[in-house]
Amino acid sequence: PNLFGTTAAVISEASQTPDLKVKSNGSSTSYLNNKENNKKYPWKIVWRNVIAFLYLHFGALYGLYLFFDGAKFLTVLWTILVACSAAVGITAGAHRLWCHRAYKAKWPLRVILMIFQTTAFQNHLYEWVRDHRVHHKFTDTDADPHNAKRGFFFSHMGWLLLRKHPDVISKGASVDMSDLDSDPVVVWQRRLYIILMPLFCFVIPAWIPCYFWNENPMNSWYATIFRYTLSLNITWLVNSAAHIWGTRPYDESISATDNVRVALGAFGEGWHNYHHVFPWDYKAAELGDYSVNFSTAFIDFFAKIGWAYDLKTVPLEMIEKRAKRTGDGTRIEHDDSENHHEG
Ligand code: ST9
Ligand code: ZN
Ligand code: ZN
């Protein structure tokens, strides 16, 4: 049982909604119906976001150029440090802790993760978690905010450039968010987001290099833009690439894939076929291999000092059974049960 009130088996049922899987009249698949629905739904482009993302992407290219032309080495190191903190705020914080409740965290760790998640500027925790829970509950349908059936660009960035499909809002209303309403860290982040977000994502990261090692403000600003834009794109690859390319060892009926390249870039969040089948596993992967899952190492470290606890995993037997029943046959058998450390 997990937050969605479902077991693995029920999740797979949800992802096999008749809309997507059943052929109507024996002629057209509902995938086509899905496309027809998209035609009927008028696109409302949000130009503010189009302009912002254009600025970010051109700014990021300029920032990359400046790394090789004048930016100080310390600024590069600082940029990497901020990027890693922001990434952990998304993976260990927004995703595994708040969205999937795959472990519990004491308040100091929740505050750290909230600040890191604010640094990532991917919307405040409440909104991030709501969209992601809706994505899990209605995967591959119009109610999925970044429905991968609408193609790479839509699931990557396009969904942030359009008003949401009406199904996202109507069906999304069925997702329970009461646990976030009762976490003061989440409530206060949401209230103060308009101040906290610019501060932690832009002002502090750009100011530190200027103040402490006399970096040129232009270099520092565009390094910040580069860091933010790159982190966004790596995160979006989980919604796009890891719903298109890769293997489906645990459930071949859903678009989500296991994709090692995405896992490497996204701090362990590329084992996305596994994750959609067993979303409550704090490793977001079958194995706890740190080399392709830095976020698991981070959570394990805080479990050692007692700030993270009640880490949830999935019994090996359950994984094997499920892979046999619904997987595409690409799951690799592991004798080494050490990696399957139960939380
Ligand atoms: C960003 C998010 O980038 C990225 C998320 C990625 C998730 C990936 C997950 C994978 C695992 C983790 C991987 C980590 C890897 C990390 C590696 C790092 C190196 N349910 O949204 P509005 C209702 S953000 C229920 O305005 P519009 C609700 O009532 C980037 N209800 O819809 C809401 O009102 P309120 C920065 C919902 O007008 C109302 O509708 N941020 C739901 O259609 C209006 O909501 C941006 O760029 C729902 N799901 O606008 C901002 N959704 O909120 C972009 C909505 O008051 N966003 N409702 O309750 C926007 O500008 C707008 O949201 C919009 C849609 C234009 C896209
Ligand atoms: Zn997904
Ligand atoms: Zn998830």
268 in helix, strand or coil?
coil
Closest CA to 163 of 247, 71, 265, 48: 48
Residue 10 predicted with pLDDT over 50? no
- 217 and 210 Cβ atoms separated by less than 8 Å: yes
In this prediction, residue 20 carries a pLDDT of 34
| Minimum-distance ligand 1 atom for the alpha carbon of 269 | 13
- 20 and 149 Cβ atoms separated by less than 8 Å: yes
Please give the single-letter amino acid code of residue 281: D
- 284 and 295 Cβ atoms separated by less than 8 Å: yes
Closest CA to 99 of 62, 129, 128: 129
- 105 and 307 Cβ atoms separated by less than 8 Å: yes
ipTM over 0.85: yes
Number of Cβ within a 10 Å radius of residue 8: 20
pLDDT in tens, 206-217: 999 999 999 999
How high is the mean pLDDT of the chain? 89
**Cα–Cα distance measured from residue 117 to residue 97, given in angstroms and rounded to the nearest whole number:** 12
Atom 62 of ligand 1 has which residue's CA nearest to it?
160
pLDDT in tens, 51-78: 999 999 999 999 999 999 989 999 999 9
Residue 35 predicted with pLDDT over 80? no
Cα distance between the two ends of the chain: 16
- 227 and 119 Cβ atoms separated by less than 8 Å: no
Residue 322 predicted with pLDDT over 80? yes
With a Cβ cut-off of 6 Å, ligand 1 is lined by 46, 49, 87, 90-91, 95, 121-123, 127, 130-132, 134, 145, 160, 163-164, 168-169, 172-173, 231-232, 234-235, 238-239, 266-267, 269
In degrees, rounded to 5, the angle at the alpha carbon of residue 155 between the alpha carbons of residues 245 and 147 is 95
Sign of CA dihedral 86, 242, 100, 123: positive
**Cα–Cα distance measured from residue 223 to residue 63, given in angstroms and rounded to the nearest whole number:** 5
Listed in sequence order, the residues at least 6 apart from 3 whose beta carbon sits closer than 8 Å to its beta carbon are 99, 100, 101, 133, 176, 179, 280
In this prediction, residue 335 carries a pLDDT of 62
Substitution candidate for ligand 1 out of 44, 177, 235, 264 with most atoms within 8 A of CB: 235
In this prediction, residue 339 carries a pLDDT of 52
**Cα–Cα distance measured from residue 179 to residue 97, given in angstroms and rounded to the nearest whole number:** 11
